[in-house]
Amino acid sequence: MFDIGFGELLLLGIVGLVILGPDKLPQYAAQAAKFIRQIRTQVSDARTSLVEAAAIDTETLKDLKDLDPRRILDGESAKPAQKSSPIDPDTT
């Protein structure tokens, strides 16, 4: 989601430990985790309701990808459509 590596996470933990202290850091970490979980739930619910409200069929979306002008200009339209993974790597 935020593309934070182990080094950055460690640095944030050390800075948080120095600023907040060892007694308050776990409380703030739990609050931050709860907040992120709530945001993810709201985004997932919004995405689901948009798909339901638009009543878009997933097969229709695959057909529309074949009409992408960039693919047509690059000559990729002659290639057969590859089966994509059901998991989107851009989502979390």
Global confidence as pTM: 0.48
Using alpha carbons, list the distances in angstroms from residue 11 to 26, 51, 58, 79.
Answer: 16, 39, 42, 47
Sign of the alpha-carbon dihedral angle for 15, 20, 25, 30: negative
DSSP H stretches of helix in 1-92: 6-20, 25-54, 58-65, 69-74
Which pLDDT does position 59 carry in this prediction?
A: 64
Matching residue, tokens 């339901």:
52
Closest-CA residue to 15 (of 3, 28, 1): 28
pLDDT digits (tens, 9 = 90+) for 29-83: 899 999 999 999 999 898 888 777 777 666 666 666 666 777 767 765 455 555 5
